[in-house]
Amino acid sequence: MIVVRLAQFNIKRIVRHRGLRWVLALLPVTVALARSLFAQNKSLLVATELCPLACALLVAAALYAQWTVDCVSGLSTGLRASPISRRGLALSRVLSGVCILAAQMAVFAAILAIRF
Amino acid sequence: MALLALRNVSVHAGGTWALWDVTLEIGAGEILGVFGRSGSGKSTLARVCAGLQKPTSGTVIVGGEQAEPFKVAAAFSQPAYADELTVYENLDMFACAWGIPRKRRIKEVPAAIERVRLGEYRSSRASMLSSGALSRLEIARGLLADSPVLVIDCLFDTLEPSLAESLWDHMLECKRALGKSFIILTGSGRIAEMCGRIAVISRGKIAFTGRPEDFRRLAGEDIVVLGDVANPLTRTRIAERLSVVITEEDGFLSFRVANGERVVGELLSEFGNEMSCVYLKRPSLEDALDVLSRGASSVAAGTGGKK
């Protein structure tokens, strides 16, 4: 339960981060919109297939960047000083990443499902 | 029984010994001050106590040899916070990491915010806070933690005195009611004097353990300075009456005594009309620390006050 709650806080942090928020939202939305508008384009077909992988990599990069910043700022130290294990902390970050990726994929699929 | 015990702990970091053969114990319901200059090893000691840094040698025993170990809470001089979260959310996140149930968090987080006087910033993002407010947030984070021992690393040094006093009262209450113990790391003699027992750390070694007043004696006795004694005979009479040796320096008469406050009281009542003023200079803990680092036997006293 603690892991889930920490993951919630992590999602909040990513969503409120100006840069990360737009980067994470723009990729699936742009690819899905382009694919919907230009359905015959073969390059866009490949891009659509690769988009989930790209989104996963992007989320991983965002989490890594966040972790690096936390290590420098002292937040990681503060969290490690609490009784939650390192594994629990890592799991909460992974869980938040999975949730964000799921949200990205939901938006991606929803846009693709729209017929213009 | 000691709640937290460090036995012959040494830490080698960055090519130097940050701590050397440190042996310390803190019992239940005790406030231990660790007093030392910047770079003396206080923060390393805090990290070792909190279990964030493993000692190169020696042992750290948490909770006594028989009892179940617990996690020591720590508030560091570099505040831990998430920029994107509000003050409330930051504390809620840490309380959550400490496994505090929701019902308690709802009550305790706002109380902690009020305690460090951050009420008006409750919904502000942590990135908007000043460094002073962030220090207070860090203290609140430490006080929220569900641990019998809390280490506070130099955060009291920069607090405004009234807030420091009110937090101190809260700590005394926690100590009395819950048997909580506190390790206050500080570079300020004023804060160290508030602790029941201090350990003085110098160049990574514990140089003194005991009561603050005993450590202050290292800097020598109180100095009483007499201002403008009109009658030369008064000097002799004072010397005879108090059995002290009066010396003259830069036109001022002064003498050293163990209990300056009592002597000044006597002087004022008996010779008050024969001199314009009396100053009492009491050596501070910083003076004693100077003596310790220089290895000298005596220093000029520091803080003064007009009587």
Chain B residue numbers with beta carbons less than 8 Å from the beta carbon of A83 are: 71, 97-99
Whether the pLDDT of residue B299 is over 60: the answer is no
The architecture CATH gives domain B217-306:
2-Layer Sandwich (3.30)
Question: Cβ–Cβ contacts within 10 Å for residue B103, how many?
Answer: 8
Q: Enter the DSSP assignment of B117.
A: T
Q: Which of A82, A89, A96 to mutate to test the interface with B (most CBs of B within 10 A)?
A: A82
How would DSSP label each residue in B232-282? Answer: HHHHHHHHHHHT---EEETTEEEEEES-HHHHHHHHHHHHGGGEEEEEEE-
Phi-psi domain of B130 (left: phi exceeds 0; alpha: psi -120 through 50; beta: other): beta
pLDDT at B303: 38
Which of A66, A67, A91, A53 has the alpha carbon at shortest distance from A14?
A66
Question: Cβ–Cβ contacts within 10 Å for residue B159, how many?
Answer: 21
CA distance B89 to chain A (A): 8
Whether the pLDDT of residue B71 is over 50: the answer is yes
pLDDT at B306: 38
Question: Which strands sit side by side in the sheet containing B247-249, from one edge to the other?
Answer: B247-249, B252-257, B222-229, B275-281, B304-306
Asked if B94's CB is within 8 angstroms of A79's CB, the reply is: yes
Residues of A with CB under 8 A from a CB of B: 2, 5-6, 9, 12-13, 16-17, 70, 73-84
- Considering chain B, what is the average pLDDT of its residues? 87
CATH class of residue range B2-211: alpha beta
Where are the strands (E) in chain B, listed by range?
2-13, 16-27, 31-35, 57-62, 73-75, 149-153, 181-186, 197-202, 205-210, 222-229, 247-249, 252-257, 275-281, 304-306
Distance CA A107, CA A98 (A): 14
Would you list the domain boundaries of chain B?
2-211, 217-306
Would you list the domain boundaries of chain A?
2-113
Residue B96: which of A2, A16, A74 has the nearest Cβ?
Answer: A2
Distance CA B238, CA B235 (A): 5
Nearest CA in chain A to B88: A9
Asked if A74's CB is within 8 angstroms of B52's CB, the reply is: no
Whole-prediction pTM value? 0.82
Nearest CA in chain B to A92: B97
How many residues in chain B? 307
What ipTM was assigned to the predicted interfaces of this complex?
0.88
Distance CA B60, CA B9 (A): 7
Element (H, E) at B42: helix B42-49
pLDDT at B67: 65
CB B202 within 8 A of CB B286: no
B211-262: per-residue pLDDT in tens? 998 898 888 888 888 877 767 788 888 888 888 888 887 778 888 888 888 8
Distance CA B264, CA B276 (A): 13
